[in-house]
Amino acid sequence: MKKLWAGRFKEETAGVVESFTESISFDRRLWKYDIEGSIAHAAMLGRQGIIPVRDSERIIRGLKEIAKEIEGGKFRFRQDLEDVHMNIEVALTEKIGSAGKMLHTARSRNDQIALDLRLYLRDEIGQIVSALTALMGVLAESAERHIDYLMPGYTHMQRAQPVLLSHHLLAYGEMFGRDRDRLRDALKRVNVMPLGACALAGTSLPIDRSYVAKLLRFGGIAGNSIDAVSDRDFALEFLADAAILAVHLSRFAEELVLWSTEEFSFVELPDAFTTGSSIMPQKKNPDVAELARGKTGRIFGALISLLTVMKGLPLSYNRDMQEDKVPVFDAVDTTKASLSVLTSMIPKIRFHREVLAKTAGAAYSTATDIAEYLVRKGMPFRDAHGVTGKIVLHCAENKMRLEDLKIADFRRFSGLIGPDIYRCLTAEGSVAAKRSRGGTSRSEVRRQIRRLRKIMIREE
Ligand code: ARG
């Protein structure tokens, strides 16, 4: 078949070039958006009198039929037609005759592909935002359900201070809330209409870009036609946001891997979300969490890949930019898959309350509470830190826990210590005392649950 652009060529395209330059194998995924954009464009051409209204109507009818055929799996995409745009345009002309040849008036594939990708990302970002809301929801529920569970809080991967398990889970709720905000913010820049830029310079024909933008529910139109066809910031921004989201998922996944080890024994992962070993019959592996952690690599890869494509590209459109799609599609699929599987798994995780509570109170994790006790009795914090350090050293050398010390033993370190010290020494007492805003006391954690639920229903 003769190419749509064959006019100025004497030779046919080499086979190897056809397969090297084609994008239909992956951009066919944009067909719905391509047709939606073409329908709006054709409506505008007719309304403006650039093409006869009857032809515009024929085009729209033809495009709708093609959409049905593609949906029903009855459309044959052809590699020799290079991309989704030309596949659909050729099919249209085959279907409705010469009216189909008017569709590409005042349009180029350069503004067309920018439009398709923006429509696609607008849709997908919306879905990812909803998936994040669902994830925040299961975290809030889990936090509510486990409000009485203690756990050791860590710094440097060393037991630091007792916290509520719910508090720890809600930390992830905050991260995913910020991820959602970031994506919604990116949406503002995705939701800008490039059509009408044509190849790069605009057109001499009397088009109405605002009308097309209105039909396609865009928030605005691209202000500079050269930028409109060469900008991929909106995709980069999405990928950067997806990369940060992937970091958060990987940290959560990593904790699940650790917590499900025999060594930690903090959680039991549901059978339905773990897999066995082909050789070791006793094994139950946390593959879902591992893959959620591992897939982060693909999303970082997508970001780096598109950044590299765009770096140093001269204005305006360059064919290099065709390389934007595979990484963007892959990042979208991967993000959605990871969010979905973790959201289904979280409600089924069993937390081992006894182990968590026992570990929370061990390893002198309430030493800071002794220091704060001494501060309340009037000692400067730095001195209190020193005194408490001595108490801990004494206990460590004598293989004792803090609560094993008699009141007389305590008073050898400081006369300020009285019998009320024992309230500070247990994990429960320590947690209950952390009533500072955002802290780990039950009332503060309940406040954080309410906060998360409020963030979840926030529209903007
Ligand atoms: N397949 C191209 C892309 O993805 C569409 C735009 C092609 N434009 C052109 N002048 N060859 O970027």
The enclosing domain of 443 has a CATH number of: 1.10.40.30
**pLDDT given at position 272:** 87
**pLDDT given at position 460:** 57
What 3-state DSSP class applies to 275?
strand
Of the chain, the end-to-end C-alpha distance in Å amounts to 50
**pLDDT given at position 280:** 80
Ligand 1 centroid from CA 74, angstroms: 25
Does one domain contain both 308 and 433?
no
Question: What CATH number corresponds to the domain at position 299?
Answer: 1.20.200.10
Distances (CA, A) of 429 to 135, 366, 369: 31, 9, 9
Atom 11, ligand 1: residue with shortest CA distance: 319
Helices (H), 146-217: 165-190, 209-215
In a domain, 181, yes or no: yes
In a domain, 140, yes or no: yes
Does one domain contain both 83 and 42?
yes
Rounded CA gap, 230 and 248, in Å?
31
Atom of ligand 1 nearest to the CA of 324: 4
Domain of residue 254, residue span: 110-358
Domain end residue (candidates: 358, 380, 395): 358
Q: Does the Cβ of 104 fall within 6 Å of ligand 1?
A: no
Domain end residue (candidates: 105, 130, 148): 105
Q: Does the Cβ of 23 fall within 6 Å of ligand 1?
A: yes
In a domain, 5, yes or no: no
* Nearest residue to 363 via CA among 167, 165, 162: 162
Q: How many domains does the chain have?
A: 3
In a domain, 379, yes or no: yes
Does one domain contain both 326 and 390?
no
DSSP element (H, E) containing 339? helix 325-345
Does one domain contain both 349 and 407?
no
Question: What CATH number corresponds to the domain at position 66?
Answer: 1.10.275.10
In a domain, 100, yes or no: yes
**pLDDT given at position 98:** 95
In a domain, 272, yes or no: yes
Does one domain contain both 325 and 387?
no
Q: Does the Cβ of 83 fall within 6 Å of ligand 1?
A: yes
Does one domain contain both 441 and 402?
yes
* Nearest residue to 242 via CA among 182, 284, 293, 287: 182
Domain end residue (candidates: 323, 358, 393): 358
Residue in the structure block whose two tokens are 């955002």: 438
Residues with pLDDT less than 70, the chain: 1, 460
Ligand 1 centroid from CA 318, angstroms: 8
Does one domain contain both 307 and 325?
yes
**pLDDT given at position 9:** 84
**Partners of 193 in the β-ladder:** 221
In a domain, 2, yes or no: no
Does one domain contain both 378 and 290?
no
**pLDDT given at position 235:** 98
pLDDT tens for each residue of 195-219: 999 999 999 999 999 999 999 999 9
Does one domain contain both 175 and 262?
yes
DSSP strands (E only) in 130-208? 150-155, 158-164, 192-193
- The rounded Cα 252 to chain-centroid distance in angstroms is 13
What 3-state DSSP class applies to 52?
coil
CB 146 within 8 A of CB 429: no
Q: Does the Cβ of 87 fall within 6 Å of ligand 1?
A: no
DSSP element (H, E) containing 267? strand 267-268
Does one domain contain both 337 and 400?
no
Does one domain contain both 271 and 302?
yes
Q: Does the Cβ of 109 fall within 6 Å of ligand 1?
A: yes
Rounded CA gap, 134 and 99, in Å?
47
Rounded CA gap, 252 and 293, in Å?
8
Does one domain contain both 218 and 282?
yes
Rounded CA gap, 318 and 403, in Å?
71
**pLDDT given at position 362:** 87
